[in-house]
Amino acid sequence: RRERLVELGITHILKVGPVLSNQHPQDFIYCRLYVSDKETARQDDIRREFGMGLAFASEALDLGGRVLICCPTGCRLAVAATV
């Protein structure tokens, strides 16, 4: 999997959710957003975290990098962060 990310030119990985570990810290720059999709999640916390994610992704792109956005299930939090 690491080889495929390198092949695609991924330089930065934005992880959305608290349970994902950084598997290749020597190869990619990571940022983790501590966001939950549970009803108890506070909107202020979600806004702050997504704001940090936007800043991370924007900086990566400004530097000519490519960003992979992922979450534990790959279908809810990552999509929300991308939008």
As a three-state string, the secondary structure of the chain is: CHHHHHHCCCCEEEEECCCCCCCCCCCCEEEEECCCCCCCCCHHHHHHHHHHHHHHHHHHHHCCCCEEEECCCCCCHHHHHHC
Output the pTM of the full model: 0.82
pLDDT value, residue 42: 66
pLDDT value, residue 16: 86
pLDDT value, residue 63: 97
Per-residue pLDDT band for 28 (boundaries 50, 70, 90) equals very high
Mean pLDDT of 6-14: 96
pLDDT value, residue 18: 72
Residue 49, pLDDT above cutoff 60: yes
Residue 70, pLDDT above cutoff 80: yes
